[in-house]
Structure formats: structure tokens, C-alpha cells
């Protein structure tokens, strides 16, 4: 994840998400059997954590933020759209990138903005625009 200096946040694929189910079955076939972790960040509930590296996800799990979680790799904008659409239908509202417990001022992005950025992604990089961050 990087800030372009112009206030845009850029996030490149692949992304990793902590889930509580077997990731050997493709997401599209799991339907409701996957449990996804959601957090409360800065008073906003139902925030989905996404990580820009597996190392950060493993650190998140090791610090006790996601006991028994395993990594779900999200390697394309299309898969991200499917995952976030599914999560939004289950009342998840925001995404936080790399929300490790020691990090302060974690920016939040409404799921709708992240989905739109994924739709607009031509090069495998999400560009989240200024003012998109919630919370």
C-alpha cells in the first residue's frame, strides 16, 4: 500500500484476507461456509481487514487478532469484487488495509468505493481517491 503524494492510496494485488475456513475449496464454491473476520476500527464496526502482504497477515494472526484464521489469497480485481459483494450482503461496510494492532490512524474505505476501484483497475492496482476513506 502506498500514498502517491497526491492523496491517492494505491493498493496492488495480490491481497490476503484472514478467513476461518479451508481455503483449498475455491471461494466461489464455498458460499456461506466461509467465516470472515470483521473488526471495529475507530468506532466503525464490521470492517474487513485486507493485507498487502502475507507477512503482515501472519503478524496479525500471531498477535492474536485472528485466532485459527488462515489466509485467503485475493489475486485479481474480479475476485475482490466477488468477495466484497458477498461480504457487503452480510452487513460488512468498510475495508481496512494492513490493520495491524500497533498501527495508528488506520484509514477506512467504504466497500462500495473499493469495489469501484477494483472495477476501474486496469493494471492490478487499486487507486482509492481522496475523500473515499470513511471513519
C-alpha dihedral over 127, 130, 131, 132, to 10 degrees?
10
Residue (of 132, 106, 107) closest to 117 by Cα position? 132
8-30 burial string, b = 16+ CB within 10 Å, else e?
Answer: ebebebebbbbbeeeeeeebeee
Q: In order of start, what are the domains of the chain with their CATH numbers?
A: 2-128 (3.40.1350.90)
Identify the helix (H) or strand (E) that includes residue 27: helix 27-30
Entry pTM: 0.82
Q: What is the pLDDT of residues 67-105, one digit of tens each?
A: 677 888 999 999 999 999 989 988 999 999 998 776 777
Q: What is the pLDDT of residues 37-74, one digit of tens each?
A: 888 888 889 899 999 999 999 888 888 766 677 888 99
What is the sign of the dihedral through the CA atoms of 19, 131, 2 and 125? Answer: positive
90-125 burial string, b = 16+ CB within 10 Å, else e?
Answer: eebbbbbbbbeeeeeebbbbbbebbbbbbeebeeee
Amino acid at each position: 500500500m502506498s500514498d502517491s503524494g497526491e492523496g491517492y492510496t494505491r493498493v496492488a494485488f495480490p491481497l490476503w484476507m484472514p478467513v476461518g475456513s479451508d481455503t483449498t475449496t475455491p471461494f466461489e464454491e464455498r458460499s456461506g461456509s466461509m467465516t470472515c473476520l470483521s473488526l471495529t476500527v475507530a468506532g466503525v464496526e464490521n470492517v474487513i481487514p485486507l493485507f498487502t502482504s502475507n507477512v503482515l497477515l501472519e503478524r496479525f494472526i500471531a498477535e492474536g487478532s485472528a485466532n485459527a484464521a488462515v489466509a485467503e489469497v485475493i489475486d485479481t480485481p474480479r475476485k475482490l469484487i466477488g468477495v466484497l459483494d458477498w461480504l457487503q450482503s452480510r452487513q460488512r461496510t468498510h475495508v481496512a488495509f494492513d490493520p495491524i494492532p500497533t498501527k495508528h490512524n488506520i484509514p477506512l474505505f467504504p466497500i462500495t468505493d473499493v469495489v469501484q476501484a477494483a472495477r476501474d483497475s486496469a493494471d492490478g492496482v487499486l487507486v482509492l481517491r481522496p475523500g473515499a476513506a470513511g471513519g
